[in-house]
Amino acid sequence: MKSNRKNLIVIVGPTASGKSALAVRLAKKFVGEVISADSRQVYRGLDIGTGKITRREMRGVRHHLLDVAEPQRQFSVAEFKERAQCAIRDINARGNIPFLVGGTAFWIDALVHGMRLPAVPPNTALRKRLGKKNARELFQILLRLDLARARTIERQNPRRLIRAIEIARTLGRVPAIKKRSPYRVFWIGLNPPKAILKKRIQARVDRMLRRGLVAETHSLIRNSVRKSRIQEFGFE
C-alpha cells in the first residue's frame, strides 16, 4: 500500500555545527527550500544575536519562517507547527524538497512527530506574575498542579515551566501529547568535536560583536522590547 506521507529532510545539531550552510548546499543540489526551526530567528530585528542566515549566505535558496513575528510577543510552538506545515505543503506543491533546519528541539519534535498540542491561549497576567519567579519556584508550583508533568519536564527551563503551569491551571492537568508523524523523515545530524565547536562559537561571538550586536540589542530596547524579554532571547 502506497503511503501518502510526504518526504521531509531534517538537519539538526548544536550551535555553530554548520546546519545552515549544509542545508543551503543540499537545497541547491537537490532543488529544495529551507524551513527554519529556530525559536529566536522567527523574530524581526534579532539578526546578529541569533546568527540568522544572511541573503548572501542563502545563495538564492528560498527560506521560510524567518522574521515572521514581532519580538514583543511570544511566538508559540503551535504557531510554528501550523506555519511550517503550510510551508511544507507549498514546497511540495512546487515539486521541491523541504529541508527543516534547527534549532529548537521541541519545535522540531512537534512538527516531525505530529504532536497534538493543547489549545490553551496565553494568559498574559499569569505569565507576568510567574515571570518574577525562578525555575525552582516554578517547578514547585507545577508539582502541586500536575505531578505527572512535573516528573517529565525540564526543571531548569522557566519558559516550559510557565507554559505547563498555564495549561494545568486551565485544563486541570497537562494532557499527554499525542504523536503520529505525517512525514517520511530523513535525519541528518551534525556533531563536530567539542574543541572545534568551541572555536567556532567563539569566532561567531566575535563576529557578532563586530557586526553590531550591542547596537542591535539597544535598538530592541528602544522599540519597546522589555529587558526581561531580551534576557529570554539570551542577550543579557
Per-residue pLDDT of the chain (236 residues; tens, 9 = 90+): 455 778 999 999 999 999 999 999 999 999 999 999 999 999 999 999 999 999 999 999 999 999 999 999 888 888 999 999 999 999 999 999 999 998 888 899 889 988 777 778 888 899 889 988 999 999 999 999 998 889 888 888 888 899 899 999 988 887 766 667 889 999 999 999 999 999 999 999 999 999 999 999 999 999 888 887 887 787 65
Look up residue 202 and give its three cell numbers: 567563539
Measured CA to CA, the distance from residue 191 to residue 198 in angstroms comes to 12
The amino acid sitting at 36 is S
Secondary-structure percent of the chain, ordered helix, strand, coil, rounded to 5: 50, 15, 40
Q: State residue 69's pLDDT score.
A: 95
Residues 6+ apart with CB under 8 A from 223: 45, 71
Q: Is the peptide bond before 103 cis (omega within 30 degrees of 0)?
A: yes
The amino acid sitting at 221 is I
Alpha helix (H) ranges present in 11-134?
A: 19-30, 55-58, 77-93, 105-112, 124-130
Measured CA to CA, the distance from residue 58 to residue 66 in angstroms comes to 12
Residues 6+ apart with CB under 8 A from 87: 33, 35, 64, 65, 98
- Model confidence, pTM: 0.79
Q: Which helix (H) or strand (E) holds 185?
A: strand 183-189
Four-residue CA torsion sign, 164, 170, 173, 178 = negative
Place of cell 511566538: 75
Q: State residue 1's pLDDT score.
A: 43
Q: State residue 4's pLDDT score.
A: 73
